[in-house]
């Protein structure tokens, strides 16, 4: 492959990467909006359709509590997702990642228990009415948003334990109110098929395993994205070539009226090659302006020929 064709190939790969970032941001935004809307609707429907006594007892159910956490995570993520669509890459801080992680873990535990246990004993209770959204649809949507978003951080065992705090807190509250004070009914039948000292540790172990699986998948996706980002810049080892490549991406953006299409990559490129972000931004903006001018000249030539 010649140098020119190699440069063109690298440029097209970078443009493809930008489009991939943009698609992931849009998918995460749609998933967050749907998660928030459906979770609130399903919770509201449960409130409206229940008796006053059932409404007062609604938050005794882990399903409701986990969907509240998930709705909170989706609501917090939406502004970042909107920004991510504009910047063509969705990123957010570590503290939000942990809330998002915890909400995803809680709802995936809900879905696993529903499909694996509750559905066998009570299919209608598992999937009837609003429960289909609370038990299946919302967990799937929050998982989509979680794996599409990026926080530029990896998850470790400590993060999994932090994400498990709502599960542990609910388990303690449930245990006290059901088996100590007898204030609640054992609506999850923890002491029916197995003794509670067996079933409770099994559920907590299942929650940890789900959290571990989510963590492993997230970290692998994060590593794969980092490798992809590095691969497309392998042919640009020196600062001058990097600035030329950034300028070329700006030209592409200007010609296609996507003036901010690769701006989010500047931070990663700056960190990788130790070049000031401002320097890369100037090269990119100049390229975008030149690209827009070339687009206008091309349009003028087409009109002249027509």
Q: Print the SS3 string covering 201-259.
A: HHHHHHHHHHHHHHHHHHHHHHHHHHHHHHHCCCCCCCHHHHHHHHHHHHHHHHHCCCC
The structure tokens listed for 9 are 């190939």
Domain stop point among 230, 257, 272: 230
**Within this chain, do residues 267 and 177 fall inside the same structural domain, yes or no?**
no
Percent of the chain topping pLDDT 90? 14
What was the pLDDT predicted at 26? Answer: 78
**Within this chain, do residues 74 and 180 fall inside the same structural domain, yes or no?**
yes
Q: Is residue 10 part of a domain?
A: no
Asked if residues 114 and 135 have their Cβ atoms less than 8 Å apart, the reply is yes
Q: Is residue 256 part of a domain?
A: yes
Q: Is residue 64 part of a domain?
A: yes
**Within this chain, do residues 252 and 107 fall inside the same structural domain, yes or no?**
no
Residue 80, by phi and psi: left (phi above 0), alpha (psi -120 to 50) or beta?
Answer: alpha
**Within this chain, do residues 126 and 34 fall inside the same structural domain, yes or no?**
yes
**Within this chain, do residues 70 and 212 fall inside the same structural domain, yes or no?**
yes
Domain stop point among 176, 209, 230: 230
What was the pLDDT predicted at 256? Answer: 54
When pLDDT is cut at 50, 70 and 90, the band that residue 244 belongs to is low
Average pLDDT of the segment spanning 76-90: 71
The structure tokens listed for 277 are 């972000």
**Within this chain, do residues 84 and 186 fall inside the same structural domain, yes or no?**
yes
Q: Is residue 32 part of a domain?
A: yes
**Within this chain, do residues 265 and 209 fall inside the same structural domain, yes or no?**
no
**Within this chain, do residues 189 and 43 fall inside the same structural domain, yes or no?**
yes
Tell me how far CA of residue 82 lies from CA of 15, 77, 153, 161, 265, in angstroms: 21, 9, 20, 30, 17
**Within this chain, do residues 128 and 185 fall inside the same structural domain, yes or no?**
yes
**Within this chain, do residues 243 and 226 fall inside the same structural domain, yes or no?**
no
pTM, rounded to two decimals: 0.68
Q: Is residue 72 part of a domain?
A: yes
In tens, the pLDDT along 130-187 reads 777 777 888 888 888 888 776 667 899 999 999 999 999 999 998 898 888 888 888 7
Domain stop point among 176, 198, 230: 230
Q: Is residue 1 part of a domain?
A: no
Q: Is residue 50 part of a domain?
A: yes
What was the pLDDT predicted at 261? Answer: 47
Mean pLDDT lowest for which of 141-150, 243-252, 283-292? 243-252
What was the pLDDT predicted at 272? Answer: 64
Number of domains in the chain: 2
What was the pLDDT predicted at 268? Answer: 64
Q: Is residue 277 part of a domain?
A: yes
Tell me what the pLDDT averaged over the chain comes to: 75
Average pLDDT of the segment spanning 78-100: 75
- pLDDT > 70? residue 86: no
Q: Which domain holds residue 261?
A: 239-297
Q: Which residue has the higher pLDDT, 164 or 43?
A: 164
What was the pLDDT predicted at 4? Answer: 43
Q: Is 81 exposed, middle or buried (0-12, 13-18, 19+ CB in 10 A)?
A: buried
**Within this chain, do residues 290 and 212 fall inside the same structural domain, yes or no?**
no
What was the pLDDT predicted at 211? Answer: 94
**Within this chain, do residues 170 and 88 fall inside the same structural domain, yes or no?**
yes
What was the pLDDT predicted at 253? Answer: 60
Long-range contacts of 255-261 (CB under 8 A, 24+ apart): 255/291, 255/292, 255/294, 255/295, 256/291, 256/295, 257/292, 257/295, 259/288, 259/292, 260/86, 260/87, 260/88, 261/18, 261/22, 261/88
- pLDDT > 50? residue 220: yes
């Amino acid at each position: 492959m010649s140098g020119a064709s190699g440069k063109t190939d690298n440029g097209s790969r970078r443009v493809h990467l930008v489009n991939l970032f943009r698609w992931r941001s849009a998918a995460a935004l749609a998933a967050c909006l749907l998660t928030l809307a459906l979770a609130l609707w399903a919770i509201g429907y449960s409130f409206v359709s229940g008796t006053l006594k059932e409404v007062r007892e609604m938050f005794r159910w882990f399903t409701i509590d986990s969907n509240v956490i998930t709705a909170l995570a989706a609501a917090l993520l939406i502004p970042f997702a909107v920004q991510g669509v504009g910047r063509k890459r969705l990123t957010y801080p570590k503290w939000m990642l942990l809330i998002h992680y915890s909400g995803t873990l809680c709802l995936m535990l809900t879905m696993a228990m529903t499909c694996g246990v509750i559905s066998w004993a009570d299919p209608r209770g598992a999937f009837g009415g609003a429960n289909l959204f609370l038990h299946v649809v919302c967990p799937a949507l929050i998982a989509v948003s979680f794996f599409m978003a990026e926080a530029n951080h990896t998850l470790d065992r400590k993060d999994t334990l932090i994400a498990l705090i709502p599960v542990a807190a609910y388990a303690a509250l449930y245990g006290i109110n059901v088996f100590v004070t007898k204030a609640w009914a054992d609506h999850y039948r923890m002491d029916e098929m197995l003794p509670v000292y067996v079933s409770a540790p099994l559920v907590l172990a299942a929650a940890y395993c789900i959290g571990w699986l989510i963590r492993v998948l997230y970290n692998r996706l994060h590593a794969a994205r980092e490798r992809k980002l590095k691969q497309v810049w392998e042919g640009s080892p020196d600062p001058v070539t990097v600035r030329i490549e950034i300028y070329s991406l700006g030209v592409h953006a200007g010609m296609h009226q996507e003036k901010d299409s690769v701006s989010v990559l500047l931070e990663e490129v700056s960190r990788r090659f130790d070049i000031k972000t401002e320097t890369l931004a100037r090269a990119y903006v100049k390229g975008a302006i030149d690209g827009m001018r070339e687009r206008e000249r091309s349009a003028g030539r087409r009109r002249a020929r027509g």
